Structure 1
Amino acid sequence: MTRDGTSELNVLNMLQPHNGLKVLTISCYGGTEFPSWLKCPSFHDMVVLTIENCKGCQSLPPIGQLPALKVLSIRGMANVKNVGPEFCGAGVSHFRSLETLHFQDMKESCPKLSGNIPNHLPLLKKVQIDGCGKLPILVSNFPDLCELEVEGSKGVVCRSMDGISSLDLGFLSKSLRFTSQIEGFAMQGLTNAEDLTIFACEELKCLWSSGDEGPLPHLQFLRLLHIDDCPKLVSLVSEEVEARLQQGMPSMLTEIVIKNCMVLKSLPKAMMYNNNCLQLIRIVKCDSLKHIARGQLPPTLERLEVSYCENMEIILLVDSINALSTLRDIDIRNCQCLHLSLDRELLPANLRVIHISDCEKVSALPEAIHNLTSLEKLTMHHCSVVPFLETNLLTNLASLTISAHDRNTDATFEWGLDNLISLNKLEIRNFQPVSFPKMMFPASLTILTISDFPNLQHLSSKGFPKLVSLKELYISECRQLESFSKDGLPPSLLKLYISQCEKLRSLPKKGLPPSLLELYIFQCPMLAKSCKKDRGQEWRKIAHVLRVEFHTNLNLRPSDPL
């Protein structure tokens, strides 16, 4: 059945609401023009107006004279070809109360959409443009604009953007160039920008190029720079201009996050060691990047994260270590080419967190790690050699995770772990011993994980009786494990998790501690059989536990080891 546009117009005309209406949505209207009552400014109290999926209309109603309108959303207007003066209405002052403007889903059906988004909007705080073809964005006269989000647009014109404090540009096509000489995104217009996010811009090669004259006075207030999924981005600054930009990079920048930029080769020197505000550097999946900085890292840096960078070779230079007095957190993951065989005194003294995982060429932590008296968390996972610690000096270490890469290092079991007086979480993985009877644990420990011990047969240690504070015990992937310690489990235990221990038949002879509230057994067929209610020989040991779960499928487990 076809829709009669004239009839729908007549019906909508008869549905004229009262002048005190505050919120109005017109959706899926089939007429070719909007009703006459929407063309007058008599709705003096209207605050929110949404017009969506009115596919028969070729123009937008003149609603610019609505005095109280704060939120305007235009979506899915398939046949609108122009956004022009008739949209704003007569008079110089229009949309004088508007704070949020949203255009969406006009890309496929309106490839020739033209005109301009209304300007001179004194109270505008947020503009969202999503999938609107070639709709130009001229925001030179938005003095109070806080946020601009552009997504799925082919031609964005931002000649002057002095008022913008936050800018989010996404999925921008070839016509958008981040240079000043080509119509498109003009970097020197962003004098007040504080937060810049760029993602999925396929043609972006650099942010600052030879067309940017002078010492880059623009972006002087930039604090956050996030770049994601720009496959052609080679550098933030082109080589021919980097030398003259040493004093012109954003000096207030506190955070740099770059992800999925596979051909990125370098970060600007000026952005690194001429910056006295930078606190966070996060680099993810930038396979062409071999180093973070060719000189020193910023002296204000607090957190450094590098992950999944296949060709990363150098992160910390010897000459820069002493200057990094504020560095608290180093997180390095899956960097297979990274060499980090550090010598004595080559770690910043104030480090609190070190996480290094899946870096096969990382051979050891420095001998001076015991001088890191502020260190609270240490993780070494799948690295070539596990470090030997002088544990009595790591008085603030609260969390320790150690996982061997080649299973050939069992030095862990000779450490004086009981000297780590603040340690409350210990996780040891991927080691070879059949048992570790002499291993001692600190009395402060509350969480213990023992995982991936292919030869472990007996869970016995002199240290178990001293675990008077232990609340959670996780045992997984110990496929040869047959028995627990004859001394039983710690009396304070609240949660016991046993997974993939196929040869384990029984629980400790002394039973489970009365304190135990939760017991999870996964992929331990013989133990599960022994614990069957009223029939299994181990049932009496678990009858008092409030929550007991058995599963043959690991995907059904309620929680993983912490």
Structure 2
Amino acid sequence: MPPNLRKLTNPQTLPNFVLGKESGSSRIGELGPLLHLRGTLSISRLENVNGAADATMANLGHKNGIDGLLLEWNKGEIADLDVLRSLQPPRMLKELTVNGYGSVRFPTWMENPSIFSKMVLMRLEDCNGCRLLPPLRLLVSLKKLIIVGMSGVENIGSDFYGVGCLKPFPILESLSFETMENWENWSQLETKAGIEGFPQLKELSLRRCPKLNDKLPESLPSLETLVVRGCEQLVISIPAEGLTRLKDLKVHGCKEMSSVWQDELRQLTSLEHLQIDDSSLRHPTLMRVGEEARQLELCLPTKVQTLELSYFCNLVKVPEVMHLTLLEELHIFGCTSLTCFPESGLPSSLRVLQIESCENLISLVRDDEYSSNCTPPPNSNSNCLELLKIQNCPSLKSTSSAVTGSFPVRFKNLYIKYCHALERLCSGKLPGTLRNLEIHYCYSLIYISSEGELPEALESLCIEGWKMLKSLKSLKAGLPKELRRLRIAFCGQLESIANKFDEINATCLESIELSHCGNLRSVPEGLHHLINLSELCIIECKNLVSLPEGGLPASNLRELIIDTVAYPKGMLQDLIFLQKLEIPYSEGLTRLLVEEGFPPNLICLIIYDLKEIKPLFHRRFLHRLTSLRSLSLIGEATDMVSFLPEPENEHEKDGRMGTLMLPKSLISLHISEFENLVKLSTGFQCLTSLQFLSIRACKKLKSLPVGGLPLCLTDLVIHNCPLLKKQCTRSHFVKI
């Protein structure tokens, strides 16, 4: 921080105070006179404090307007206990974070209830030198406690609860331990009245505590959420009467649940959401045992609404879940042996089914051709199913239902990704209720439906990486009437989409993206009739050389990204609502700009493949864009030696180049890959609104403007400009 902050007159906010080692940097004592600070104060690089006397001069205890305080040392730096002792916060503090403190213990003020009578949140992070937690049990207002990365702690017990304390943490609602690498034992608090503590705790989270092998507290009467992840030695046992309010249970990467865990789960009568993985459950539903398989019932409370099973390597069949009449979501991840679903099907209440990375799953249909041993789910039972998402299932060949050959009547969303063996989505029609369809990289897909139709109510269609797709003309009814968003990408064989956009598409289509379709030769006729089209993107379609007759729709187009087509006369002149334009530069563009100019209301302009840049500036094509906020210029223009370019006329050589060539409204400027750019001109001073400047891959650029950069600049990015790096010093950037 710059020196002499103490001389500021009555500052009230100082979010971040950074201490430095350099002479002339602010010392922590600069904070002393600033008694009217309020809100949150962060003090970092505290390893640069010169002892307790220096820290005392900060006078933190008298800054009663501060309700949040962060005290931070760089991780690995030596921390002085006396320094932290001298940084005692004000009594009205509500939130305290101590980060990177490396001494062996904490000061006594951290456990003083008279100091922290208002404290509701405390976070201790990366305090690796401390072997004991401070006794925080007397902080009667504490509601949330987060302890992260304290590798020196091996045991948590009386040091944490406090000796003789009958009911510690009386109103604590959330307790989280994360990345406690050496924590082994969590001793429970025992009193004459039994095991007590945490009477109001609603959320308990244990993450990445690999050596913890003790049991969890037994009496947590208010607990609603329990999260245990990456605690490999922990055996979880559910107490007989202690978790009656538990609604959300997530267990991943633990040694195992207790051997009677299935019976115990039935006691969780309030459980609504369950996530569990194979390492925590040693009895997945259907296991391979030699040549035989045996099925075990998954005994869950009937109120379960969300069930997630992940990485059950031996799971062959999805558990029987028909008794879960309130089940709305079923997620299955990484079950590499999974081939089928239970014969009884899935609950009719199911709305979301997600299957990911199940490499042996062949089909969701009852079809002996695809599965000779197991029968898949009759999805017709799940008449509430709205979303089916299948990803990374390379053996999957079909997705449709066993009974109807189609999907449930309420079905709205279908997402299929990276299913390389998929040949068909369904053998009949897709449901008329389908709204969103996405197909990504299903290389073997032959057709979407055997009847060659898309539902008329379909609103969004995304096809990516379908190698065998040559045309959408095969669709009997053309594009759906209600289609709003169309995206087709990386379909190398695609030659055509449709003959034309007819009247039924004219009022609905809002977004079209055609990208990386090398064989695409034409855009459907009638493009200019799409009166509600707001986004059009056509890139990397090398055989697409022109737009259809009539050009672009002008009435509502807001964003245009186009790179391969010629620029027909009149292409830009009517786009008065266009806000974003991304195009490559060419001689054709220059001619078009001479005749029409850029659309007048552009906010964002990106021009790449620039071969020459002087015409762009000297004819003031950019200066006229009075609403322009963001400009990116990318290319190898050999005539770009100075940016902004030197003026051609004598009357322009008055330091006003920035005003003459770029609009004053510009906030963000990005220039990149100009191989001959040597300097930045003084015209930058005229860009009085410029806040962000990015300069990349200009390898001959040697210097910043002689008169400096605009005073309003807040962000500067310089990348891969080796000569500029050598010339720049701290003095260039101190005002940014």
Which band: TM-score by shorter chain?
0.7 to 0.9
Instruction: List alignment gaps of at least 5 residues for structure 1.
Output: 1-6, 558-562
Specify the alignment match of 1:259 in structure 2. Answer: 417
Which whole-Å CA distance do the structure 2 matches of 1:403 and 1:78 have between them? 57
Q: Distance in 1 between matches of 2:585 and 2:192?
A: 71
Partner of residue 189 from structure 1, selected from 331, 346, 355: 346
Alignment partner, residue 465 of structure 2? 308
- Write the deviation string for residues 79-136 of structure 1: whole angstroms up to 9, x where unpaired: 85x97xxx554xxx88432212233324xx6699675252253311111213325334
Provide the rounded CA distance (Å) in 1 between the counterparts of 2:603 and 2:176: 56
Could you say if the C-alpha distance between residues 425 and 104 of structure 1 is closer, same or farther in structure 2, counting changes exceeding 3 Å? Answer: closer
Pick from 370, 376, 383 the counterpart of residue 528 of structure 2.
370
CA-to-partner distance for each residue in 1:165-188, whole Å, 9 max, x for gaps? Answer: 1122111131x332334xxxx6x1
Distance (whole Å) between structure 2 residues aligned to residue 549 and residue 497 of structure 1: 10
2: distance between equivalents of 1:39 and 1:54? 30
Task: Write out aligned runs for 1:13-412 (5 A).
Answer: 18=166, 28-29=183-184, 45=199, 47=201, 67-72=221-226, 76=231, 78=233, 89=240, 95-106=243-254, 116=262, 118-119=265-266, 121-130=268-277, 131-136=279-284, 138=297, 142-154=301-313, 158-160=319-321, 161-174=324-337, 176-181=338-343, 188-210=345-367, 216-237=379-400, 241=402, 244-246=403-405, 249-270=407-428, 273-276=430-433, 278-294=434-450, 295-315=452-472, 317-321=474-478, 324-340=480-496, 342-345=498-501, 348-349=505-506, 350-383=508-541, 384-388=543-547, 390-391=550-551, 393-404=553-564, 409=565, 411-412=566-567
Tell me which residue corresponds to 1:3. Answer: none
- Contact 2:305 2:328 (8 Å CA) reproduced: yes
Partner of 1:427, secondary structure, is strand
Q: CA deviation at 1:344?
A: 2.8
Specify which of 541, 545, 551 is matched with residue 718 of structure 2.
551
Give the superposed CA RMSD: 4.5
Q: CA deviation at 1:413?
A: 5.5
- Would the aligned equivalents of 2:459 and 2:484 in 1 still touch at CA under 8 Å? yes
CA contact 2:686–2:710 (8 Å) conserved in 1: no
**Aligned partners of 2:684 and 2:705 also within 8 Å:** no
State the alpha-carbon separation in 2 of the partners of residues 354 and 219 from structure 1: 34
In structure 2, distance between residues paired with 1:191 and 1:50: 33
Counterpart code for 2:697 = Q
Q: How many residues align?
A: 512
User: In 2, are the aligned partners of 1:231 and 1:263 still within 8 Å (CA)?
Assistant: yes
Match of residue 491, structure 1, among 639, 659, 663: 663
TM-superposed deviation, 1:373: 0.9
What is the correspondence of 1:431-510 to structure 2 with a 5 Å cutoff? 431=586, 435-436=590-591, 437-438=594-595, 440-454=597-611, 458-459=615-616, 463-464=621-622, 466-482=624-640, 488-494=660-666, 495-504=668-677
Residue 290 of structure 1 and its aligned partner are, at CA, apart by 4.0
Q: Could you tell me the TM-score, scaled by structure 2's length? A: 0.59
Structure 1 residues 216-246: Cα deviation after superposition (integer angstroms, max 9, x where no partner) = 43221112222111121111138xx5xx514
What is the Cα deviation at residue 55 of structure 1? 6.9
Show the counterpart of 2:698: 524
Q: Distance in 1 between matches of 2:189 and 2:604?
A: 68
Q: Answer whether contact 1:20 1:44 (CA < 8 A) is retained.
A: yes
Aligned mates of 1:282, 1:98 — CA distance in 2: 37
Aligned equivalents of 1:468, 1:8: Cα separation in 2:
64
The one-letter code matched in structure 1 to 2:414 is I
Instruction: Encode CA deviations 1:57-83: one digit per residue, 9 max, x unaligned.
Output: 7xx7895x8654434456646485x97
Q: What is the SS of the residue equivalent to 2:581?
A: strand
> What residue in structure 1 maps to residue 570 of structure 2?
415
Q: Output the CA distance in 2 between the equivalents of 1:73 and 1:268.
A: 39
Q: Deviations over 1:145-175 (max 9, x none)?
A: 122122222455621233211122111131x
Q: 1:16 deviation in Å?
A: 9.6
Structure 2 Cα separation of the partners of residues 512 and 413 of structure 1: 37
Are 1:451 and 1:478, in contact at CA under 8 Å, matched by a contact in 2?
A: no
User: How far, CA to CA, are the matches of 2:719 and 2:578 in structure 1?
Assistant: 33
User: Deviations 1:350-402 (Å, cap 9, x if unpaired)?
Assistant: 11110111111111212210111111111100112143263475211111111
The verdict on how the C-alpha distance between 1:344 and 1:308 changes in structure 2, with shifts beyond 3 A counting, is closer
Structure 1 distance, partners of 2:258, 2:197, is 32
CA distance in 1 between counterparts of 2:156 and 2:233 reads: 18
Secondary structure of 2:576's aligned partner: coil
* Cα separation, 1, equivalents of 2:614 and 2:690: 26
Cα deviation, 1:237-296, whole Å, max 9, x if unaligned, reads 38xx5xx514x62222222122221211211155x53232x2211222222224434421
Highest relative contact order (Cα 8 Å, sep 6+), 1 or 2? 1
Cα distance, 1:422 vs structure 2? 1.0
Q: 3-state DSSP class of the match of 1:348?
A: helix
SS at match of 1:267: strand
Rounded to whole Å, the distance in 1 between the matches of 2:258 and 2:248 is 24
For 2:704 and 2:205, how far apart are their aligned partners in 1? Answer: 61
Q: Helix, strand or coil for the counterpart of 1:450?
A: strand
Counterpart Cα distance in 2 of 1:10 and 1:449: 63
Instruction: Return the alpha-carbon distance in structure 1 between the equivalents of residues 544 and 705 of structure 2.
Output: 46
In structure 2, the CA distance between the partners of 1:10 and 1:121, relative to structure 1 (3 Å rule), is closer
Instruction: Report the TM-score when normalising by structure 1.
Output: 0.75
Instruction: Return closer, same or farther for 1:427/1:413 CA change in 2, 3 Å cut-off.
Output: farther
Given that 2:342 and 2:377 are in contact with CA atoms closer than 8 Å, whether structure 1 keeps it comes out as: no
Q: State the one-letter code of the partner of 1:498.
A: I
CA-CA distance at 1:554 after TM superposition: 7.7
More divergent stretch after superposition (119-128 vs 368-377):
119-128
Given that residues 532 and 556 in structure 2 are in contact (C-alpha distance below 8 angstroms), is that contact kept between their aligned partners in structure 1? yes
